[in-house]
Amino acid sequence: MLTKRIIPCLDVKDGKVVKGVRFENLRVEGDPAELASFYEDSLADELVFLDITASKEKRRILIDVVERTAEELTIPFTVGGGIGDLGMIQELLCAGADKVSLNTAAVRDPDLVRIASDRFGSQCIVIAIDAKRIGGGSGRPRWEVYVEGGSKGTGLDAIEWAKRVEGLGAGEILLTSMDRDGTQLGYDIELTRAVCEAVNVPVIASGGAGSPEHILEVFERGLADAALAASIFHRDIHPIREVKEFLASRGIPVRL
């Protein structure tokens, strides 16, 4: 089994790290650069930075904040939010990002995924999928893809979209359950497993981490390659070292 990654997430609004529940009721958690430095020293495997209102506000990502954050890091750094073209991707890579995360722009222009992966390499292109469960009943569950910071449904099926972007050249998928985001009730295992079984690229599970047991579950039952979390790390509820030591004790390979 490949080493599993633990990835803190910096959701950034107006230059500050924030966290809410189901994409709402945001509360300030700190400065991105300061938190990046903390996670650099705390056994994080990677760091994700998402300018969560850039797409909805139709503005450019906060490059100066990205640069300040990148200066604190040697671990891989993924940046997303408001990225709409190849020029912006190149600018972010030059500002210190190792990967870029596309969501809204990829849905609006899927060919951007193919062109970007051809130009910069698929290892640089992460597709973020914000998925919300729709419908009910006893049939196969469905999840709809949302864009613009989770404010707008697209009608796209999340599993089919994941397969499509893999075919276009995406090197990784960042999968967020909007239903579980910020709840600390555990990941949506059904959603995560369905996407992991549908694609061959690595999948980062996001949305709902509240304990080391939840992270163990998303690796064992959800088949995720990496687990992303915010609240439990920002608020030091479960430090990364504690989580990794717990996972190692359960036979999950992690970097200690």
Q: pTM value?
A: 0.93
The torsion of the CA quartet 139, 201, 154, 138, rounded to 10 degrees, works out to 10
Which of 27-31, 90-94, 206-210 has the least mean pLDDT?
A: 27-31
Q: Let me know if 41 is a catalytic residue.
A: no
| Cβ neighbours of residue 87 closer than 8 Å, sequence gap 6 or more | none
Q: What is the pLDDT of residues 156-191, one digit of tens each?
A: 999 999 999 999 999 999 999 999 998 999 999 999
Query: Is residue 5 within 8 Å of 226, Cβ to Cβ?
Result: yes
Would you state the pLDDT for residue 23?
60
Question: Residue 25's pLDDT is what?
Answer: 57
Tell me the pLDDT band of 194, cut-offs 50, 70 and 90.
very high
pLDDT at 55 (0 to 100): 73
Catalytic residue among 11, 45, 51, 181: 11
Can you give the pLDDT at residue 137?
57
Task: Tell me how crowded residue 5 is: count the other CB atoms within 10 A of its CB.
Answer: 19
The Cα 15–Cα 127 span in angstroms is 23
Average pLDDT over residues 31-43: 94
C-beta separation of 127 from 101 below 8 A: yes
How many CA atoms does the CB half-sphere of 62 hold within 13 Å?
A: 21
pLDDT, tens only, 121-131: 999 999 999 99
Q: What is the pLDDT of residues 131-153, one digit of tens each?
A: 999 976 566 789 999 999 889 99
For 252, the token pair is 């999950």
Distance between CA 200 and CA 71 in Å, rounded? 32
In Å, how far are 43, 61, 237 from 76, measured between CA atoms?
12, 19, 24
Residue in the structure block whose two tokens are 């469905």: 142
Q: What is the pLDDT, as a whole number, of residue 140?
A: 77
In sequence order, what E strands does 115-182 have? 125-134, 142-147, 152-157, 172-177
What pLDDT sits at residue 138?
61
What's the whole-number average pLDDT of the chain?
A: 93
What's the token pair of residue 168? 């276009």
Residue type, 26: L
Angle, CA of 145, 175 and 68, to the nearest 5°: 110
Report yes or no: 128 and 179 within 8 Å, Cβ to Cβ.
no
145 contacts 107 by C-beta, under 8 angstroms: yes
Instruction: Establish whether 188 is a catalytic residue.
Output: no
For residues 30 and 115, give the distance between their C-alpha atoms in angstroms, rounded to a whole number.
36
Residue from 31, 41, 51, 130 carrying the catalytic annotation: 130
**Which residues is 17 bridged to in the sheet?**
12, 30
pLDDT tens, 46-99? Answer: 999 999 877 777 677 789 899 999 999 999 999 999 899 999 999 999 999 999
